[in-house]
């Protein structure tokens, strides 16, 4: 299962006080490893400011907030990421 986090070094203006994109990426790695110790995850962090793909462009055009979390290419959550949404998406994918 591939977990992708799109983010940027600079925090989004509406996310002041929330974890940064990198902090969210690292936090997800730890939280998911604890919750699903027998599940293999592949993690990827993409800086949308330097990436050249459709999702990065959508973030640049303010269609999505960042950090943006995808599981196997499907958007799960954005902005202030909530673990329950990520857990729910994982459980739906593995069911």
CATH of residue 76: 3.40.30.30
Reference 10, options 2, 21, 25, 18; nearest CA is 21
The total of structural domains in the chain comes to 1
Give the pLDDT confidence of 18-27 residue by residue, as tens digits: 788 999 999 9
Answer with the residue of higher pLDDT: 73 or 10: 73
In terms of residue numbers, what domain contains 25?
Answer: 2-94
**Residue 94 has what pLDDT?**
81
pTM, two decimal places = 0.92
Contacts of 58 (CB under 8 A, 6+ apart): 64
Answer with the residue of higher pLDDT: 14 or 49: 49
- Asked if residues 43 and 29 have their Cβ atoms less than 8 Å apart, the reply is yes
Q: Is the pLDDT of residue 13 over 80?
A: no
């Amino acid at each position: 299962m591939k977990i992708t986090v799109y983010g940027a070094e600079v925090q989004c203006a509406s996310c002041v006080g929330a974890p940064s994109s990198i902090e969210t990426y690292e936090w997800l790695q730890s939280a998911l490893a604890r919750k699903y110790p027998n599940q293999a995850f592949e993690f990827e962090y993409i800086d949308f400011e330097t990436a050249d793909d459709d999702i990065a462009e959508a973030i640049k055009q303010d269609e999505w907030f960042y950090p943006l979390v995808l599981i196997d290419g499907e958007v799960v959550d954005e902005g202030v990421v909530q673990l329950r949404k990520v857990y729910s998406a994982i459980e739906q994918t593995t069911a």
